Structure 1
């Protein structure tokens, strides 16, 4: 198995400042996050995606600590070594290095995971964390709960506690690769790389600890899942005429009379104002965003639909109702819940520039915000009857 050399070799201070200055000069023209770290730029691996999607991993405190009930890890900062981490946490550098299968003075990659052999002080506001203590599993909260009076926080308020699934912590053994580990745990290899600060060649070392991203985490925007039938299935080959019944006899149409009767002059019906009016839709709801469906409803896997729509395009209330909740998930994505008659709820995520507030009454088709920019940009839309998700196609035109 390939041994990982130190990746962040000393670079010229002048050259580094020049690169940073050039990056800052064009930063204002960029619409995507810019990778000022410039790590591994020589091998053609763009870490922009890693810096943006690493937000799916819990945010460490100022020391770099991510704390779970059963273990703690440190996310390496720029120019970190095991020695600098040990000094920061008051640990023995040799013990920490041996535990992670690396020498104490080897330069670590930014975002590389270093596992702690014993627990240190828990994250708290004093260490730059929004909460105190380890990350606990999130309680099961239905959209109905979100829409109830139990959700009182206003838009933009930080979550009261940090929660999430404790990932598996895997220690690399001889012969393993990032690909083989990703296959064992059935996770996206790009997500594995981003969660653990791996370089473009995805090299890992024996003894290294990796956090296994929760199921469903992807390193890049996943393409919609399409069920593709095997070749030849789902179609019926026509039977050759010679292999079955004889060809039907030809029938000759009657010859038209040589003296056709005079036909009355054709008069177009008078449609009046209805001639150009579109037919009224009988659907219970209107489509909340203009675009095509890029991900279909799949109960248990995708409890709604994803509508590919241009960033900044309007998002409309699918039906008349009352805004029951406006909140955000742990990644800061806004969630809007609208309550409708007959125990129905509609849910809208990836929305920005909201034009409504909680307890606002909205009409069918009223603009409530805009589609959040993304790659691709899309609106996630759900319809729920009580706590159960239902296929939005039953309600949309």
Structure 2
């Protein structure tokens, strides 16, 4: 039986908040009808949720590599993979050790690479010679360029400047449980910019140990929220009532006398509202409650194989997995309400299916202490599931 790593043992940033971000990619793509990166709602603003563009820093254009696909910065170098490349073919082209290149990027030597993918170089390589203006293939050899290339192979200082004379991008090594969206938010840059700079695929997939470069900001993030004025400022203080002036005469009516014309009481039932009530997704006891910072849902203990049911009618918006291969199902309900079910096996639904309240969508995954993690979200904000279940 497979042992599942409990959510409570992960770091706060690695819990279901990051899983929801991954599910959000598929969810947004499903809602917008897009099949590629160009159609995604990168800031998760579908139906009014998420963060607006104004809350992210503007970033520079993606840096352009040299003829060998190498991006050189003072502190490190990266290489951009070509179509059909493997780790071994890139290492052979640049003259670096294949095993060291693979180890630096959490890959195997024989792993195929996606066109445009960036790899961190374990050691510096010489930059590709730049063409000389007006030179032809039959002209004299540029002795200066040849000498410079030879020196690059044995000398690492002085280090080359960043491409275009810009600022050197920060590096981020992907940790277990992180996603492209959580990393972009941590550095206050857009997920689209992060994907473009690192040549990520349409599903924004990243791997543990991968090195990402963070887009360089060209301006600080603006503050879209107006600064509230100090209490009492901007308005005149009304004069207090004077005790010297007597109050006007008031005609009172004895309490025993009924008012001649009593207006009819309004029918408040027409304006009554009620919160959406959800059904328990699985039969079991709650072993861990909701905490906005530490656990953005509840954990329900249940025997492996126990049926997991949809909390309400809706549409399956996303089916994905986290870095521990724990399966997650996201269902969209009315009023932009989402329910998230993590740790589900034996799926009986697929993305795009309509489900009814109480319909079985799968079963609790096996493990040493099997449980279902259940979340309720409004847009991308987590809510305490208990008021919805009681």
TM bucket by the smaller chain? 0.3 to 0.5
Higher RCO structure, 1 or 2 (CA under 8 Å, sep 6+): 2
Provide the TM-score with structure 2 as the length reference.
0.36
